[in-house]
Amino acid sequence: MTRCIPVDPCAPALDALQEAAECLKSGGLVAFPTETVYGLGGNALDGRAVQRIFEAKGRPATDPLIVHLPAVEALPMVVKSIPDVVSTLAEHFWPGPLTLILPRGEKVPLSVTAGLDTVAVRVPSHPVAQALLRVSGLAIAAPSANRFGGVSPTTAGHVLRDLEGRIDMVLDGGATPIGVESTVLDISTAVPRILRPGGVSREALEAVLGPVDLLERKASQEEAQASPGLLEKHYAPHHARLILVEIPQNEGLQEAFAHLVTQAEQSGARVGALIADEDLAWLETQFPAMARLALGSLNDPGTVARNLYAGMRAMDEAGMDVILVRDFGTAGLGLAIRDRLYRAASQIVRHIAQNGA
Ligand code: AMP
Ligand code: MG
């Protein structure tokens, strides 16, 4: 049984926190809201708790976990040494959705880091995550609270759908405010490098650090179409095939949607669309009967990010076979949104097929 305890997201009650803290201290697993997505927490310095996290998620042991701390001052609990740039980054971005790769401290089990000599560390800002870290006094290892490879959870309901019976407790603090995972930053190179775009934008990092590189993960469209397995599958819906339509001009987008809808419907597939507020009018005219969900305005990637995963889950649960998703650009959180869509997509469409095939 998994207990679900409602908490005030701004001021969680102490008794709920104490109960969750006791659970963590005795090796249990507690899911809790962070500002990004719900985390599946266990004591990072307890090898058995860490093992249970991997088992509950079905996560391969080769995928390292992020360790959460209450403040930069707690870093010595889990890291061996602290590079100079950390204080600047902490001052600007902690608490917040930035994960730093740092030299692993001796007390951190190798299972946390998948055998690496580095450890990923973050100081979350969500009041429930903060309070849980402070009340427990623990370093908490917490990947997203979903089954491996699926869509990350942004509500306690999402967590329960994936992990009911596999974890001890969920603190239900409502929907998470950012909605995509943290930015993972490698500061060991001369030019810092984003390993995973996320809640802190590249622009915000560059305003503090100067130029920041981005690790390109995506396979090319040709590779992806030749073998969808080449795209690292992650964040994907259970049932539906997600098709990302990456066509910048609005007219091209409408044509591409028309082409893809016809193609899908010919094979009897149910099609839904995840779109921008700006698309509602033409979609209503062109496809009045199609299931659609507007994630937010093109000018507001923050709102789109907040609604993205719930939108993907809703389409999947409504029984769609194909989800068409429009591209949202790369400004601000757009980069993180595009990264998740690349990984979730079975197909990326950048031009309309000439022969109608
Ligand atoms: P998640 O916990 O699902 O948000 O994913 C954590 C991600 O952080 C991993 O999948 C890695 O991509 C990254 N990560 C964690 N630890 C390290 C590390 N020591 N070095 C590089 N990347 C890491
Ligand atoms: Mg995850």
Element (H, E) at 20: helix 14-25
Answer for the pair 90, 72: CB distance below 8 angstroms, yes or no. Answer: yes
Instruction: Show the CA angle centred on residue 236, arms to residues 126 and 300, nearest 5°.
Output: 50
| Rounded Cα gap, residues 61 and 111, in angstroms | 7
Ligand number nearest CA of 143 is: 1
% the chain with pLDDT above 70: 94
Atom of ligand 1 nearest to the CA of 120: 16
User: Residues 176-224: pLDDT tens digits?
Assistant: 999 999 999 999 999 999 999 999 999 999 999 999 999 986 555 554 4
| Smallest-distance ligand from the CA of 236 | 2
Distance 149 CA to ligand 2 centre (A): 7
CA atoms within 13 A on the CB side of 45: 13
pLDDT confidence of residue 249 = 73
What was the pLDDT predicted at 355? 47
Please report the domains of the chain, with CATH numbers, ordered by start residue: 3-214 (3.90.870.10), 241-349 (3.40.50.11030)
pLDDT of residue 216: 80
Ligand 1 mean position, distance from CA 64 (Å): 5
- CB neighbours of residue 303 within 10 Å: 17
**Alpha-carbon distances of 49 from 25, 86, 286, rounded to whole Å:** 9, 28, 52
Model confidence at 356, pLDDT cuts 50, 70, 90, reads very low
DSSP string, 128-170: HHHHHHHHH---EE--BSS-TTSPPPSSHHHHHHHHTTTSSEE
For ligand 1, pick from 66, 98, 235 the residue to mutate: most ligand atoms within 8 Å of CB: 66
Ligand 1: residues within 6 Å at CB? 63-66, 101, 113, 116, 118-120, 143-144, 181, 184, 195-196
The predicted model gives 226-242 an average pLDDT of: 68
User: pLDDT tens for residues 284-339?
Assistant: 999 999 999 999 999 999 999 999 999 999 999 999 999 999 999 999 999 999 99
Contact present, 192 and 185 (Cβ < 8 Å): yes
Q: Which of 7-16, 38-47, 113-122, 236-245 has the lowest mean pLDDT?
A: 236-245
Mean pLDDT of the chain: 93
Is residue 236 very low, low, confident or very high in pLDDT (cuts 50, 70, 90)? Answer: confident
pLDDT recorded at residue 113: 97
**For residue 268, how many C-alpha atoms fall within 13 Å in the half-sphere facing its CB?**
0
Of 271, 255, 266, 272, nearest to 354 by C-alpha is 255
